[in-house]
Chains A and B, each alone.
Chain A
Amino acid sequence: MHYLKYFILFIFSSYLFFNSCDVIDEPFKDNTFIPIDTSSTIIGDTLVQTERAVIVEDFTGHRCKNCPKASKAIRELDSLFGSKLVPLAIHAGPSNFTGVNNDYPIDFTTQEGDDIATHFGIFALPMGLVQRLDYPDSHQKTYSAWSALTFLELAESPEALFSLNAKYDSLSRTAVLNYSVELSSNQTNPLWIAVYIKESEIIAPQLMPNNARNETYIHKNVFRNAPLGPLGNLISQNGGEVGQIFNGSITSNLDPLWNAKECEWVILLYDKSNYKVIQPGSTLVYP
């Protein structure tokens, strides 16, 4: 028994020492990911998706000093994955991060954005959802986890693909999105469509990680409104089969303060039973 104890100890220690340390000599991967955007093609004036896409919803605020770090993470993902990534920056959450004052005079918050944040229980900023995975227990993801989750999601086969056609009347500032989504996998749960409009290249102050105020910060992917409401509409109560196609059209009037040329439609097909996004898509409002 005496020697057995020492023997077990020796075996256990050897295992721990030799198998429990991965010393990395080269932190960066050799085959550096070079983005080749094959996620969609343009046929006439219609964008036709050919690959799976991932939506990253970044709950943010202009008075949140750590939020630019999350925006930077989005930019890194954007450079890697191109249009396979659908980023959306929702200014919502605690008012000390999103509220307006003399230094931060532009109100980026919206009622629909607040409703989305409330629905997903956003309690701190920056915080994100990746494809709305893992609802309701661990769906809130910190930005350091976004790249790995996006990478994993994109490795999956597409479950549905959008064809998107946008029209815009600059006189009436009326935007129309015609969509068609074809299922690539069988779905058994209720399917919903949510549609949002976002705007980029907005220059406005932002509190930075060093506590400085950046007056000329460029805000990207700012959530503007949700023409079908924060959670959208039902399109099929019983899911659908491979090859089944759902069509629809959404109209929205753009606010006069929004730059139509920097606005994009964002559309999500999701499984209402767990809110997991089956496929997101995006296209310019003013093609």
Chain B
Amino acid sequence: MRLILFIFTLCIPFIGVAQQQKIRAIIQSDAQWYLRDEILDPSGEYFPNERLLGQGFALFTYTDGDFQAGMRYENYQNVMLGFPTGYRGEGITYRYARVRKENWDITVGNFYEQFGSGLIFRSYEERGLGLDNAMDGFRIITKLNGGIKIKGVLGRQRKYFTKSEGVVRGADIEWSANELIPALGKKGVFFSTGASFVSKFQRGFDPILNLPQNVGAFAFRTNLNFKGVNWGTEWAYKINDPSYDNGYIYRPGNGLVSTISYSKKGLGILASIKRIDNMSFRSDRNGQQFDLFINFLPPTSEPHTYALVALYPYATQINGEIGGQFEINYMVPRGSPLGGKYGTKLSINSALSNSIDKSVLADGTRGQKGTQGYISEYFKFGPTIYFRDLNGSISHKFSKKHKSQISFFRLKYNKTVLNDGVGDITLLENPGMDSVITINAIVLENQFKLSNGQTIRNELQWSIADGFRGDMAMALIEWTINHDLTLAIQDIYNYGHPTPSRRIHYPIVSLIHFNGPTRVQVGYGRQQQGVFCVGGVCRVVPPSNGLSISLTTSL
């Protein structure tokens, strides 16, 4: 830290001396003033004592030719509702120095990195979730002749304002065949393959168990692209890693993700499969929620953005899931009866996810601490439905000033697993206790350009569910007054909630102002209790009512 501040201090007098020197800053600040809402939260259990909560950060980056250094200051006074409460206080949480010269790229301090699709290593930040598992250590990347790229990392991960006790070290090698054999590219073939290895070290103290202190994982991947077809596959394996997540079983983990896609003008097809078996990999075996994940298990379902459907998000099941996704996008040509003057876009997407097979061990136990946990047939589905999603949309532009989209959704959502967090082993021991909700929804979206340059966009949403949240309807109108100002008003009415006292409105008004790189948003209204997910990683959002302000700018 002192070294980086020292480097900063040395560099500042020279800023502006040469054109290649540059300093940038990104600043964001969010605050919410919470109001007591006795309808939304009768007992006041979610109402914060502080009344006003705020958080923000400022990221400074200094670049001078091959050299780059940066630091991020974060401030939580106190952290806003729904974010991990480990964020409390203020400090410099991210600082680094990086040199890129010729074929070498060396970073000391904090860094984010990913091997392949992240099945065994991904260090990243997702600010909307409050997730940040930045590495603090050393990274080296080098390119060798023949299209070979090697990465090495060593360090400890961030945990709020502290660091993990465990050490993470890893290496990745990737070979791009086209650099060695340029003729492949001329024939339209692009091929690359890679392998990675990651190991964590954490001291093991347990009076009963022999805990592995060094836990290794490796992965292999390939990617082939030929005439519009792209096929990428990654397979990973992890040795015994007893942890809080898996109930301290000693079964090795493995994961497979394979995606094939085809695209040409007006048509896109994508199919993917995924199987995850005991692949929670953290630098602290006792970690919970999304603390200290070393790896990232990519989701194979479409993240929905429409509000009513987004209330039922899918969260990747790290202890085991099997499923896949299929999607077709087709643009009906212009001038055809369905395509009309501007063309019509059709889209269908389906996804499914189930538990994996987890049969009892020879001794009749399943999931018991200190055992191999269970036996699993590789492609056999388990009995628990996690998620089903069938959705489609028709998007049509009627004129230069009017376009519409109608979307339909049919979801099956295992509330017990995805909302309540009950594990599949518990469900296997208590068959029939889970609650799978069926949701049907339809959304109509219109956008009109007005003659004075203004834009009106509206959404009408309606969802019917056979339990949990019940039936809901929503209307939204968004008025872009000019380039700098947008006003949005929306209301969700949960008219069919199973509990009569929860059949309430959730109105929100927001005003967004842009001024160059600066964005200011002011909102007021009720926030519904739910789950917010990014990339299959989710956090719980508590109900709230109040005034929120958000400022983002860059210098």
Compute how far the CA of A65 lies from the CA of B423 in the bound complex, rounded to whole angstroms. 12
Compute how far the CA of A121 lies from the CA of B49 in the bound complex, rounded to whole angstroms. 13
The B-contacting residues of A in range 1-50, CB under 8 angstroms, are: 2, 5-6, 9, 12-13, 16-17, 19-24, 26-29, 32-33
Known A-B contacts A12-B171, A27-B250, A27-B371; the reply to A80 vs B207 at CB < 8 A is: yes
Across the interface, do A210 and B240 meet the contact criterion of CB distance under 8 Å?
no
Minimal beta-carbon separation of A35 from chain B (angstroms): 10
Across the interface, do B422 and A99 meet the contact criterion of CB distance under 8 Å?
no
- From B384-392, B425-433, B445-453, B493-501, the one touching the partner chain is B425-433
Across the interface, do A12 and B152 meet the contact criterion of CB distance under 8 Å?
yes
Q: How many A-B residue pairs have CB under 8 A?
A: 114
Q: Which chain B residues lie closer than 8 Å to A239 at the CB level?
A: none
Across the interface, do A210 and B422 meet the contact criterion of CB distance under 8 Å?
yes
Known A-B contacts A23-B212, A24-B250; the reply to A210 vs B426 at CB < 8 A is: yes
Across the interface, do A21 and B214 meet the contact criterion of CB distance under 8 Å?
yes
Q: Which chain A residues lie closer than 8 Å to B248 at the CB level?
A: 144
Known A-B contacts A96-B45, A144-B244; the reply to A26 vs B210 at CB < 8 A is: yes
Q: Which chain B residues lie closer than 8 Å to A32 at the CB level?
A: 208
Known A-B contacts A123-B85, A145-B286; the reply to A22 vs B208 at CB < 8 A is: no
Q: Does A246 contact B (CB under 8 A)?
A: no
Minimal beta-carbon separation of B2 from chain A (angstroms): 21
Known A-B contacts A21-B215, A22-B214; the reply to A151 vs B207 at CB < 8 A is: yes
Across the interface, do B197 and A5 meet the contact criterion of CB distance under 8 Å?
no
Across the interface, do A27 and B210 meet the contact criterion of CB distance under 8 Å?
yes
Q: Does A251 contact B (CB under 8 A)?
A: no
Compute how far the CA of A27 lies from the CA of B246 in the bound complex, rounded to whole angstroms. 15
Across the interface, do B250 and A20 meet the contact criterion of CB distance under 8 Å?
no
Compute how far the CA of A27 lies from the CA of B214 in the bound complex, rounded to whole angstroms. 14
Q: Which chain B residues lie closer than 8 Å to A171 at the CB level?
A: none
Known A-B contacts A19-B214, A95-B45; the reply to A210 vs B429 at CB < 8 A is: yes
Q: Does B213 contact A (CB under 8 A)?
A: yes
A23: contacting residue among B152, B201, B239, CB under 8 A: B239
Compute how far the CA of A2 lies from the CA of B145 in the bound complex, rounded to whole angstroms. 9
Across the interface, do A5 and B171 meet the contact criterion of CB distance under 8 Å?
no
Compute how far the CA of A94 lies from the CA of B173 in the bound complex, rounded to whole angstroms. 48
Q: Which chain B residues lie closer than 8 Å to A9 at the CB level?
A: 150, 173
B210: contacting residue among A24, A65, A94, A96, CB under 8 A: A24
B162: contacting residue among A22, A99, A138, CB under 8 A: A138
Q: Which chain B residues lie closer than 8 Å to A149 at the CB level?
A: 205
Compute how far the CA of A76 lies from the CA of B209 in the bound complex, rounded to whole angstroms. 13
Across the interface, do A148 and B206 meet the contact criterion of CB distance under 8 Å?
yes
B199: contacting residue among A16, A144, A152, CB under 8 A: A16
A33: contacting residue among B208, B239, B240, CB under 8 A: B208
Of the four ranges (under 10, 10 to 19, 20 to 34, 35 or more), the interface on chain B belongs to 35 or more
Of the four ranges (under 10, 10 to 19, 20 to 34, 35 or more), the interface on chain A belongs to 35 or more
Across the interface, do B240 and A24 meet the contact criterion of CB distance under 8 Å?
yes
The A-contacting residues of B in range 212-233, CB under 8 angstroms, are: 212-216
Q: Which chain B residues lie closer than 8 Å to A2 at the CB level?
A: 145
Q: Which chain A residues lie closer than 8 Å to B215 at the CB level?
A: 21-22
B286: contacting residue among A17, A20, A142, CB under 8 A: A142
Q: Does A209 contact B (CB under 8 A)?
A: yes
Known A-B contacts A5-B144, A21-B199, A210-B433; the reply to A28 vs B209 at CB < 8 A is: yes
Q: Does A236 contact B (CB under 8 A)?
A: no
Minimal beta-carbon separation of B150 from chain A (angstroms): 6
Across the interface, do B199 and A20 meet the contact criterion of CB distance under 8 Å?
yes
A152: contacting residue among B144, B152, B205, CB under 8 A: B205
A147: contacting residue among B201, B207, B210, CB under 8 A: B207
Q: Does A156 contact B (CB under 8 A)?
A: no
Q: Which chain B residues lie closer than 8 Å to A28 at the CB level?
A: 208-210, 370
Across the interface, do A211 and B197 meet the contact criterion of CB distance under 8 Å?
no
Across the interface, do B205 and A22 meet the contact criterion of CB distance under 8 Å?
no
Residues 75-89 of chain B: 1 if any A CB is under 8 Å from the residue's CB, otherwise 0? 000000000010000
B212: contacting residue among A13, A24, A65, CB under 8 A: A24
B422: contacting residue among A96, A152, A211, CB under 8 A: A211
Compute how far the CA of A32 lies from the CA of B250 in the bound complex, rounded to whole angstroms. 18
Q: Does A257 contact B (CB under 8 A)?
A: no
Across the interface, do A148 and B371 meet the contact criterion of CB distance under 8 Å?
no
Minimal beta-carbon separation of B84 from chain A (angstroms): 9
Minimal beta-carbon separation of A71 from chain B (angstroms): 16
Across the interface, do B214 and A20 meet the contact criterion of CB distance under 8 Å?
yes
Minimal beta-carbon separation of B418 from chain A (angstroms): 14
Q: Which chain B residues lie closer than 8 Å to A33 at the CB level?
A: 207-208
Compute how far the CA of A145 lies from the CA of B162 in the bound complex, rounded to whole angstroms. 17
Q: Does B402 contact A (CB under 8 A)?
A: no
Write the chain B residue with the least CB distance to A140.
Answer: B86
Residues 203-237 of chain A: 1 if any B CB is under 8 Å from the residue's CB, otherwise 0? 00000011110000000000000000000000000
4 further A-B contacts with Cβ under 8 Å, apart from A24-B210, A80-B207, A210-B426, are: A22-B212, A137-B161, A148-B205, A211-B420
**Pairs across A and B, CB under 8 Å, 26 listed:** A5-B144, A9-B173, A12-B152, A13-B171, A16-B197, A17-B197, A20-B197, A20-B199, A20-B214, A21-B215, A22-B212, A22-B214, A22-B239, A28-B210, A29-B207, A29-B209, A121-B85, A137-B161, A142-B244, A144-B285, A144-B286, A148-B205, A151-B206, A151-B207, A210-B433, A211-B422
Which residues of A are at the interface with B, using a C-beta cutoff of 8 A? 2, 5-6, 9, 12-13, 16-17, 19-24, 26-29, 32-33, 65, 76, 80, 94-96, 99, 121, 123-124, 137-138, 142, 144-145, 147-152, 209-212
Which residues of B are at the interface with A, using a C-beta cutoff of 8 A? 43, 45, 85, 142, 144-145, 150, 152, 161-162, 169-171, 173, 197, 199, 201, 204-216, 239-240, 242, 244, 248, 250, 285-286, 288, 370-371, 416, 420, 422, 426, 429-430, 433
Q: Which 10 A-B pairs have the closest CB atoms?
A: A20-B199, A21-B216, A22-B212, A148-B205, A144-B244, A27-B370, A144-B286, A95-B45, A210-B430, A145-B286
